[in-house]
Amino acid sequence: MSDTGNHLVDGLPRSDRRRLLASCEPVELELSDVLYHVDLPTRFALFPLDGFVSLITPANDHAGLEVGMVGREGMIGMELVLGVRTAPLHAVVQGAGTAWRVGHAAFGQELARSTALRRVLQHYVHVTLRQLATASSCRRFHAIGPRLARWLLMSQDRAQADRFHVTHELMALMLGVRRVGVTVAAGGLQADGLIRYHRGELTVLDRAGLEARACACYVSDLRAYRAHMGSCGAAGGTALRR
């Protein structure tokens, strides 16, 4: 069986992968779709093949703040791995694409049946918790410029392309800062030839330069994924890089 495009699924033994996929259906992830709502029942698990989804925590009267990002390296609905049916975060599509979708009941049955699936997803939950903690400290201690560079690298990894659609408003929302701050930071990256931005289309021109500008949290996330996912059979490392 050839690779599916999702690194958690592809890390499973062939027989376990076949059984899981037999319960899945392909779905389109449309830009701006809200896949999960906080405190509402989680009806399915999603394994993205391309595109990416932001995990957003609500903040009283504010629009919310991005605390994580999921693409082909992971899954959405990891609360189901813990036996919980209530979503802890909003999940909003920020990059259109496709995914494998499996209903919560079928997912639970396969999780109970497959030791390999449980092991892969338990490792993934651990990595995600670590990344959420890193994102929290990043927002508190790092300046907008390095945080923006990190966010653009994360988006590029999951978009699997040097060019993707994004607006200053969205970047400001995801980073939890004022739009003017993002405008200044993005302008600096563009002036130095690292990116090109025009009418909502952003192109990464100098990946190495962008990595040099990003805060250390970007590399920390990569290392955590490689260390823990590589040890359980998933395609650690390459999943977060093109």
Domain extents in the chain? 7-139, 143-214
For domain 143-214, is the CATH number 1.10.10.10? yes
For the chain, residues with pLDDT lower than 70 are 1-2, 61-62, 231-242
pLDDT tens-digit profile of 211-229? 999 999 999 999 999 999 9
pLDDT of residue 237: 40
Cα separation, 140 vs 147, in Å, equals 11
Helices 217-230 and 144-159, packing angle to 10 deg: 40
pLDDT of residue 176: 87
pLDDT of residue 240: 56
- Token pair, residue 115, equals 């030791």
Cβ distance 35 to 46 under 8 Å? Answer: yes
- Token pair, residue 228, equals 């823990």
pTM recorded for the entire structure = 0.90
Which among 242, 226, 212, 104 is positioned nearest to 234, based on CA atoms? Answer: 226
100 DSSP assignment: E
For domain 7-139, is the CATH number 2.60.120.10? yes
- Whether the domain at 7-139 and the domain at 143-214 fall into the same CATH topology: no
Helix then strand count (H, E) for the chain reads: 9, 10
CA angle 242, 97, 77 (to 5 degrees): 95
Q: How many CB atoms lie within 10 A of CB 116?
A: 16
pLDDT tens-digit profile of 55-95? 999 877 667 889 999 999 999 999 999 999 999 999 999 99
Cα separation, 100 vs 121, in Å, equals 15
